[in-house]
Structure 1
Amino acid sequence: MPVSTLHEADVLREQDPEVAEILMGELRRQSASLQLIAAENFTSRAVLTALGSPLANKYAEGYPGARHHGGCEIVDMAERLAVERACALFGSRHANVQAHSGSSAVLAAYAALLRPGDTVLALGLPYGGHLTHGSPANFSGRWFDFVGYGVDAETGLIDHEQVRHLARNRRPKAIVCGSISYPRHIDYAFFREVADEVGAYLIADAAHPIGLVAGGAAPNPVPYADIVCATTHKVLRGPRGGMILCGAELAGRVDRAVFPFTQGGAQMHTIAAKAVAFGEAATPAFATYAHQVVANARTLAGHLAEEGLAVTTGGTDTHLITADVAPLGADGRTARGRLAAAGIVLDCCALPHGDGRGLRLGTAAVTTQGMGEPEMERIAKLLAAVVRGHPEPAGARAEVHELTGAFPPYPG
């Protein structure tokens, strides 16, 4: 049971049984269904313990040694430790671990480097760009002039020639590389070359691959980008939150962009949990895990293709897969609904150069549970059968329960 202590769980049940039942209901849901959302994972018990610690009580606006509140001597130690571990893990000169989310980290990066009206080049939203990469519903699209690059219609890979052409013609103040649904490694050296050619800052939004980077299973953007924005959950297995990595020359600008420009008090319990996650990610066991995540994703993508799904880019280098389910006689939203009824939880996403929506799924959470390539084949066959409408939801859910029962997220 993933709570700090049995006593604390008993206290919650006694004081607020309604909330206690909600928490236990969510644990049951996570344990009894296949968690294939690419942006989700299971944290360790140690991370959960830090999140539920007395550090949640402390107000700590500012930075270690320069807080706006008294009594921060202990929480300063937690933040310094998180910063030290993040810098060591990713080879960065500076880390800001206060960002509340990946979007908050991107907002701070823009605030550090840009002014309203500046031109920014980023992957277009139809091709996997994030909301913070220029959506008109987001601050990014309202405050900055975003120009979107795309992917090749045949291969699904980023169109590097288009990137260079747009950069030369639009002379952006910053170039953003990163995506929420691009399953291949980003060529950071190429983007650095283009940014230098046009005098632009390079911002790497590594929210998805940063955990693979930590485990040595994906290229590290830190040597190439001026600023790297990331989340601390997903493959990294930390608490929900963000971080920013940069060189020493931008450290002050980044820190001021986080506090006081875009955020107030730091969430010290979350920062302590980030420190725990960074420590875990520095171990050989995590490196083994990260490589298994990729191996599982490649295996799953291959079997999905054998089942008739059209896997974009023909496979994956990372933890995530995007696929068109139209060959199975369904659209993305219909497929997601059928799969949810069977206990298979994943997302829809836009399909590059397509009119409909496909599926986006990832292997981080199921790998955390201990599943390997044999289970990926089984999942692929079950997923395709459910999308086709066979077996019935009850039968499919029974198979899901059998599989998840053998691989509980929190054994014992």
Structure 2
Amino acid sequence: MPVNRSAAPSADGRLPQDFGALIREDPEIAGVLLGELDRQSGTLQLTAAENFTSPAVLAALGSPLANKYAEGYPGHRHHGGCDRADAAERIAVQRATALFGADHANVQPHSGSSAVLAAYAALLRPGDTVLAMGLPYGGHLTHGSPANFSGRWFEFIGYGTDPETGLIDYAQVRALAREHRPRAIVTGSISYPRHPDHALFREICDEAGAYLIADAAHPMGLIAGGAAPSPVPYADVVCATTHKVLRGPRGGMLLCRAELAERVDRAVFPFTQGGAQMHTIAAKAVAFGEAAAPAFAAYAHRVVTHARELAAGLGAEGFGIATDGTDTHLIVADPAPLGVDGPTARDRLAAAGLVLDTCALPYGDARGIRLGTAAVTTQGLDTGDMARLAVLIAAAVRGEDGVQARVGELAASHPPYPG
């Protein structure tokens, strides 16, 4: 059974929003939204950055707080009538700090990239040197891409992975830190399936006199559920998203030590953002509350178990598996042994109803596929289904017939919003 149904769906068993009103007022957009619900229900979502929120989170997103302008922070707003907005944000902050054991939380960032931008604004100045995972090894765009603000405003030095194991080369990280004396070192990536050694990164930062910024956008839900080690005790600032494994609304957040709280808050507002999205903050509070429940911890551990089972199954089907497995919810697989490249594999999988994306593979220009188990675990797929899923993925990549129907049957037996 799906594990995130902590709030009941609407009377018709679907979603809490009033689709009747939307159909009457704007049938064109209503058709788009209901079509998206059908797409999500009829295919399997294996994109590592996606998940299904609870009906309670969706209800908060569609709440009257969507109407409220609330620049500033609780008790210090630039607009009147913010008492309920203040209450929602205080609840979200209290739940976030309790959930992650942090001194301070800022729940206003609109996205993970917004959170990283604010962290840089709080700790760095344009032209500062920053050490982060290189883009070919899984670094995010905000970790120094020349197409992103990070690569234009700061001097990024990329660290990589060991070519034999695929694991972070900590000797290289230490050597680069000693050579370049960066202002900050960033941990985290979009496609590294193992846990970073936060304590070792802290040691290297202390030697270099650098801040430690943890970009925990992907593992934050695992951290909340006790299925991944937390960077909070080691990092100066932790950046995260509230969707992905955390299963909340699309948005960002920041955690930091008490002495950095004012700098972080001012970096979010007024430096990088204007008015907070109060309906999203209320939805974040709902998600934090759900993540504090024992059922979520069980879910987070199940996500990791499923990822390991799926990685093993894909390896048995002939895929190359980065780092020979995973510690998290995500898997990076090379379809080249099956005779296709990453983009071709992605397109064949999409045609079969298996939705995922591609990512760079180290040491060359090839791209692999990146997939995750958060959403399918929310839907209620179990360990046995992971072996079945590996077979379906391989069959689709090989171009076999009949895969779409088999995927449809599996999806139909595990609807994300039953009813």
Q: Answer yes or no: same fold by TM over 0.5.
A: yes
Secondary structure of 1:108's counterpart equals: helix
Secondary structure, aligned partner of 1:203: strand
Any idea what the Cα deviations from partners look like across 1:274-324, whole Å, max 9, x if unmatched?
Answer: 000000000000000000000000000000000000000000000000011
Q: 1 CA distance for matches of 2:374 and 2:180?
A: 38
The equivalent of 1:403 in structure 2 is 410
Cα pair 1:328 1:387 within 8 Å, conserved: yes
Counterpart in the other structure of 1:96 = 106
Q: Distance in 2 between matches of 1:80 and 1:124?
A: 37
3-state SS in 1 of match to 2:228 = coil
- Aligned residue for 2:212, secondary structure, equals strand
Q: Alignment partner for residue 15 of structure 1, among 25, 33, 41?
A: 25
Q: What secondary structure sits across from 2:331 in the alignment? A: strand
Matched, 1:192 2:202: yes
Counterpart CA distance in 1 for 2:142 and 2:117 is 8
Q: Contact 2:15–2:417 at 8 Å: present in 1 too?
A: no
1:358 paired with 2:358, answer: no
- Aligned match for 1:300, one of 310, 334, 345: 310
Aligned partner of 2:267 among 257, 261, 265: 257
Amino acid in the other structure paired with 1:360: R
- Residue of structure 1 in register with 2:248 after alignment: 238
**What letter matches 1:3 in structure 2?**
L
User: The residue matched to 1:147 in structure 2 has which SS?
Assistant: strand
Matched, 1:32 2:42: yes
What is the Cα deviation at residue 355 of structure 1?
A: 2.7
The residue identity in structure 2 corresponding to 1:397 is Q
Which of 368, 386, 391 is the equivalent residue of 1:381?
391
CA distance, structure 1, for counterparts of residue 377 and residue 234 of structure 2:
30
C-alpha separation in 2, matches of 1:204 and 1:27: 34
CA deviation after TM superposition for structure 1 residue 2, in Å: 4.4
Measure the CA separation in 2 of the matches of 1:22 and 1:407: 22
Cα displacement string for residues 92-141 of structure 1 (whole angstroms, at most 9, x for unaligned residues): 00000000000000000000000000000000000000000000000000
Give the TM-score normalised by structure 2.
0.97
Q: CA deviation at 1:4?
A: 2.0
Asked if structure 2 preserves the Cα contact closer than 8 Å seen for 1:90 and 1:222, the reply is yes
290, 304, 329: which one pairs with 1:319? Answer: 329
Of 53, 68, 75 in structure 2, the residue corresponding to residue 43 of structure 1 is 53
- Provide the residue aligned with 1:248 in structure 2: 258
Letter in 1 for 2:282: A
Gaps of 5+ in 2: 1-12
Residue among 149, 173, 178 paired with 2:183: 173
Partner of 1:4: 16
SS at the partner of 1:175? Answer: strand
Rounded Cα–Cα distance in structure 1 between residues aligned with 2:382 and 2:177? 42
Q: Percent identity?
A: 75
Secondary structure of residue in 2 paired with 1:148: strand
Distance 2:282 2:257 in 1: 23
Residue in structure 2 matched with residue 106 of structure 1 by the alignment: 116
Which amino acid letter does the alignment assign opposite residue 411 of structure 1? P
Once the two structures are superposed, residues 118-165 of structure 1 have per-residue CA deviations (whole angstroms, 9 ceiling, x without a partner) of: 000000000000000000000000000000000000100000000000
Distance (Å, rounded) in 1 between the aligned partners of 2:103 and 2:14 = 34
CA contact (8 A) 1:82 1:272 kept: yes
Aligned to 2:95: 85
Q: Secondary structure at the match of 1:26?
A: helix
Question: What is the distance in 2 between the residues matched to 1:92 and 1:250?
Answer: 12
Q: Is the 8 A contact 1:2 1:48 kept in 2?
A: no
Matches within 5 A, 1:194-213: 194-213=204-223
Q: Distance in 2 between matches of 1:3 and 1:116?
A: 45
Superposition RMSD in Å: 0.6
Question: How far off its partner does 1:3 sit?
Answer: 2.8
How far the C-alpha of 1:385 sits from its partner, in A, is: 1.0
Q: Does 2:72 align with 1:62?
A: yes
Q: C-alpha separation between the residues in 2 aligned to 1:122 and 1:323? A: 23
Provide the secondary structure at the position in 2 that maps to 1:60: coil
Provide the rounded CA distance (Å) in 1 between the counterparts of 2:406 and 2:224: 34
Match of 1:216 among 211, 220, 226: 226
Residue identity matched to 1:400: V
**Structure 1 segments of 4+ aligned residues over 3 angstroms from their partners:** none
Q: Gapped runs of 5+ residues in structure 1?
A: none
Within 5 Å, which residues of 2 pair with 1:106-145?
A: 106-145=116-155
Taking the aligned partners of 1:299 and 1:3, their CA distance within structure 2 comes to: 31
SS at 1:288 equivalent:
helix
- Maintained 8 Å contact 2:14/2:418: no
What is the rounded CA distance, in whole Å, between the counterparts of 2:171 and 2:364 in structure 1? 21
Checking the alignment, whether the CA contact within 8 Å between 1:234 and 1:364 is kept in structure 2 is yes
